[in-house]
Structure 1
Amino acid sequence: MAHIIVVGNEKGGAGKSTVSMHVATALARMGHRVGTLDLDLRQKTLGRYIANRMAFMKSAGLELPTPDYAELPNLDPASVPTGANLQDLRLSMAVEELHKVCDFVLIDCPGSHTRHSRMAHAMSDTLITPLNDSFVDFDLLAQVDAEGEEIVQPSVYSEMVWSARQTRAQAGVDPIDWVVVRNRLGTTAMINKEKMQRALEKLAGRIGFRTAPGFSERVVFRELFPRGLTLLDLRDVGVTSLSMSNLAARQELRDMIKALNLPGVTADF
């Protein structure tokens, strides 16, 4: 059975699709068969990323390791069994098809609360939650006091993950390995950064996640999207001398992959 990775956060702009594409491509480069689904049915950023990649490879005459991409199947409502939900069935069928041929299935969730997102979270073996290094984003996980030092109570997204964990427990399957990935970290030691670290450490033990390093804010991610490229593709497309920023970003990706501790995976790329 494929290991299901869900990249989820109910807030836009946290870097979910960037993390999704880089994790999926890194796994593909290591020889794993990776299938992907994009549940943001309106924007489809991950879907566009992979479509851009396919178009660029065709125009450049290149073959790059690339994750598979699947759409949710279109179903005739009349064909849905009595008591079944059409949207649930579309997602479960798509995942089942990828399960047959993939080592990993990565699902990129929308930045909103949807039925598909709730169902995907309950399917996840590994849940990656990208989080900008800001208390505005932290509020999605938990409410803090005015000083940003004490946890007041868990917030809506944490409650949704708790519900997904309950669903898995009732089904008798392994618990979710929840990893909060800190994105857009500042390069200098700032008071806000230190407060965020302390707040995450307190919350991690309370609601059951672990933290992993993410990506710093870099222009290169925005530049790569139109061609569907990742940091790992630069040398393959003729960039022979990587800048210090690009080298640092590649190391951030290695650190992230290593911290995820996925089955059968090393950060060897």
Structure 2
Amino acid sequence: MAHIIVVGNEKGGAGKSTVSMHVATALARMGHRVGALDLDLRQRTFGRYTENRRAFLQKAGLDLASPFTRDLPEVPAETLQPGENIYDHRLSIAVSALQPESDFILIDCPGSHTRLSQVAHSLADTLVTPLNDSFVDFDLLARTDSAGETILGPSVYSEMVWNARQLRAQAGLSAIDWIVLRNRIGAQRMVNKEKMERAVTKLSKRIGFRTAPGFSERVVFRELFPRGLTLLDLKDVGVKQLNISNVAARQELRDLMKALDLPGVSVNF
């Protein structure tokens, strides 16, 4: 069975699609077969990223390892069983089709609460939640007091993950390995940054997730999207000398892949 990685967070702008593309492409470049689904049926940022990659590689005459994506199939309403949700059925068909040809299936979820996202979380062997280094984003995981020091209780997204965990337990499946990435962390040591670090550490022990390093805010990520490239592709498209920022970003990706600790993956880039 393919190992399913779900990248989810119910807030837009946290870097889910950038993380999804880099994780999926890194796995593909390390020799793994990677199938991918974009469940944001409206914006399709991850889907467009992969389409940009195919178009650029074809135009440039390059053959670089890449994830292969599938769209959710359309399902005639008359084929549904009584009480069956159409989105559940579409996702089930898509995942089943990817299973035989994939070592990993990566599912990129929308930045909002949808039925598709909810079901996808219950399928996750590994759940990756990018989180901007801000208490605005942290509020999705937990409520805090006005000082940002005391955790008052879990919030909407944490409760959804808890429900997904319960569904997997009832089905006799392995527990979700939940990893929260602190994305776009500033280089300077600031009071808010220190408060966030303490809050995330406290919450990780309380509701059961691991933390991993994410990506800093870098211009290169915005520049790569139109061509569908990742940090690992730069030398293959003619960049002879990586600048300091690009070298640091590659190291962040390497650290992230090691922290995910995916089965059968030896990080070698």
* Amino acid of the structure 1 residue aligned with 2:235: R
SS state at 2:14 partner: coil
Counterpart position of 1:256: 256
CA distance in structure 2 between the aligned counterparts of 1:161 and 1:128, rounded to whole angstroms: 11
**Matching residue of 2:239:** 239
Following superposition, the deviation at residue 82 of structure 1 comes to 2.4
AA partner of residue 98 (structure 2): L
Q: CA RMSD in A?
A: 0.6
Q: Following superposition of structure 1 onto structure 2, how do residues 185-196 of structure 1 map, counting pairs within 5 Å?
A: 185-196=185-196
Q: Which residue is 1:51 aligned to?
A: 51
Cα distance in structure 1, aligned partners of 2:112 and 2:40: 9
Shift of residue 12, structure 1, vs aligned partner: 0.1
Alignment: residue pair count? 269
Counterpart amino acid of 2:217? E
C-alpha distance in 2, partners of 1:79/1:148?
Answer: 50
> What is the match of residue 104 of structure 1?
104
Aligned equivalent of 1:72: 72
Partners of 2:203 and 2:49 in 1: CA distance: 33
**Residue in 1 that maps onto 2:208:** 208
Which aligned pairs between 1:93-172 and structure 2 lie closer than 5 A? 93-172=93-172
Conserved in 2, the CA contact under 8 Å of 1:32 and 1:103?
yes
Distance (Å, rounded) in 2 between the aligned partners of 1:254 and 1:183: 15
Aligned-residue offset at 1:87: 1.1
**Deviation per residue, 1:39-75 (Å, 9 max, x gap):** 0000100100000000001111111111000000111
**d(CA) in 1 for partners of 2:147, 2:82:** 52
Task: Tell me which residue corresponds to 1:197.
Answer: 197
Q: Write out the 4+ residue segments of structure 1 that deviate beyond 3 Å after TM superposition.
A: none
Q: Distance in 2 between matches of 1:46 and 1:223?
A: 15
Q: Is the 8 A contact 1:38 1:107 kept in 2?
A: yes
CA distance in structure 1 between the partners assigned to 2:201 and 2:41 by the alignment: 34
Q: Indicate conservation of the 8 Å contact 1:255/1:267, yes or no.
A: no
- Percent of counterpart pairs with the same letter? 70
TM-score by length of 1: 0.99
TM-score (normalised: structure 2)? 0.99
Q: Distance in 1 between matches of 2:77 and 2:231?
A: 42
In 2: Cα distance, 1:213 partner to 1:46 partner: 21
Cα distance, 1:100 vs. partner?
Answer: 1.1
- Can you list the C-alpha shifts for 1:20-53, whole angstroms capped at 9, x where unaligned? 0000000000000000000000010010000000
Match of 2:12 in 1: 12
Alignment deviations for residues 145-168 of structure 1 (CA, whole Å, 9 cap, x no partner): 111111011100000000000000
User: Match of 1:248, as an amino acid?
Assistant: A
Shift of 1:190: 1.1
Q: Secondary structure at the match of 1:182?
A: strand
CA distance in 1, matches of 2:3, 2:189: 36
